[in-house]
Structure 1
């Protein structure tokens, strides 16, 4: 059995890459046993990062007034290089995580908190539907990377513009659709794109993974469950953010929606 432990550590930036005009990858290093522990965990699972309010001061995870918490996922880990990497959507300095990533430099600190987890993001299935906006690229990329050649399906991702499209390798037989939306705060094309698909019928092995803004996730879930008769075991829907509200309020909305489901 894998002996996983919770992670709660201040990590240090070792590298920064601009993947697209609105996407930044930050590489972080930590203690060797921490990286080895993280390597046993599911790539793409939700975790927490502690973003320092004043990066000129040493980050203290015991001082909650010195940082803000946001939900992110680690996109990869390299035990030999002793680092993990996390991808950030760059959408201005107003959002704490975006602002931190945009101005991050080698040597800067970021708190990373993870719970032990090694459960697969998706069950084995013949047909899969992946839907998300730019915030979901890390998890959708992780899913695509692990899909076998026997799986087929659709992946729909909405990003700022064509320059923000990424190469997401997979062995599966996937139809990739990139949508462009320069103003996701005021609506999304994801719902209509899903409704335009010919989806696998009941009785077929199928699964949907939906991750985006709250209103889009809610509408797609209602469409799949209500009009298409997908069962709750055939889909996972999670909203990473809600237009016009901070993450703590968005989390409350997610919990309320889950309770009402």
Structure 2
């Protein structure tokens, strides 16, 4: 955590439960694949390393970095130019990039762990299926972090495969005495992950069994019988954009969840590539 994070966290004027943003200098890095691990039939872990990570920081469990992939045909890795806190437009071939969660960062080894959910064909999934140790990627950011304080008695975490890295990281970072409910949708039993959880954690695994992603039905059914934390809690949702939006509305309207303590994000969107958006009141 950076010094400005600590200052914000210890600021006596900070509203204890209010999320706060931390800005990071935008930087592009190159990294090589150091290790590959199979987490399940549809999830693969990559440990990336490189000297460029010396000043890497990620202050929130749901941060995202831009991962830049080499062209499948030419093998060329195209990185954009950074101008201040933005990306400069350029002519010629465009970078191939997708958003991913920094699952874990090892400061001593200068290594960044990223988990890839393998879906239908696309540049990211195609790369992940064929990648080998020594392959090179580009990493951009994170540009900033939205830090959700750990001042709640309970936490609710809801998401599909794209949210698994963030959920796993959050569970590892939460206080060990927190009461936690996780509602996680995967394709099948083999896709269920093992996490280091607070002792009082209830995980409801939802299995699509070959049905397509991006549907809200299983989540809505699970909510009807979900053991929500007894005391005050913060709710976090990440899934397909329309699903996350529907779950947010349902939790507020039908389950009385405090809309000030809920964060919902569309980690992907049907029919679009490289889509990531935070969902708020409409």
Q: Same fold (TM over 0.5)?
A: yes
Q: Deviations over 1:149-168 (max 9, x none)?
A: 32113111111111111111
TM alignment of 1:192-231, pairs within 5 A: 192-199=221-228, 204-231=231-258
Q: Deviations over 1:114-161 (max 9, x none)?
A: 135455345421121111111101100111111113211311111111
Q: TM-score, normalised by structure 1?
A: 0.85
C-alpha spacing 1:55/1:114, structure 2 compared with 1 (3 Å):
farther
Using the TM superposition, name which of 221-230 and 46-55 deviates more: 46-55
CA distance in 2, matches of 1:163, 1:47: 27
C-alpha spacing 1:55/1:26, structure 2 compared with 1 (3 Å):
farther
C-alpha spacing 1:235/1:72, structure 2 compared with 1 (3 Å):
same
C-alpha spacing 1:66/1:43, structure 2 compared with 1 (3 Å):
same
| Mapped contact 2:58–2:102 kept (Cα < 8 A) | no
Give the aligned partner of residue 14 of structure 1. Answer: 34
| Mapped contact 2:67–2:99 kept (Cα < 8 A) | yes
| Mapped contact 1:39–1:79 kept (Cα < 8 A) | no
Give the aligned partner of residue 2 of structure 1. Answer: 3
TM alignment of 1:1-261, pairs within 5 A: 2=3, 5-31=25-51, 34-39=52-57, 41-54=59-72, 56-62=74-80, 65-92=93-120, 94-117=121-144, 119-181=146-208, 182-185=210-213, 187-188=215-216, 189-199=218-228, 204-243=231-270, 245-248=271-274, 250-251=275-276, 254=277, 258=280, 261=282
CA distance in 1, matches of 2:154, 2:233: 5
CA distance in 2, matches of 1:47, 1:67: 14
Using the TM superposition, name which of 112-121 and 234-243 deviates more: 112-121
Runs of 5+ in structure 2 lacking a partner? 5-23, 81-89
Q: TM-score, normalised by structure 2?
A: 0.79
Give the number of aligned pairs. 250
| Mapped contact 1:55–1:109 kept (Cα < 8 A) | no
CA distance in 1, matches of 2:58, 2:99: 20
Aligned-pair CA distance for 1:186: 6.0
Q: Deviations over 1:191-229 (max 9, x none)?
A: 22123224357xx42110111112221121011111223
CA distance in 2, matches of 1:209, 1:186: 17
Query: Secondary structure of 2:147's match?
Result: coil
Aligned-pair CA distance for 1:101: 0.7
C-alpha spacing 1:15/1:235, structure 2 compared with 1 (3 Å):
same
Aligned-pair CA distance for 1:2: 3.0
**RMSD (CA atoms):** 2.5
C-alpha spacing 1:136/1:233, structure 2 compared with 1 (3 Å):
same
C-alpha spacing 1:23/1:152, structure 2 compared with 1 (3 Å):
same
CA distance in 2, matches of 1:162, 1:246: 28
C-alpha spacing 1:147/1:222, structure 2 compared with 1 (3 Å):
same
Q: Deviations over 1:41-61 (max 9, x none)?
A: 434412211122237534231
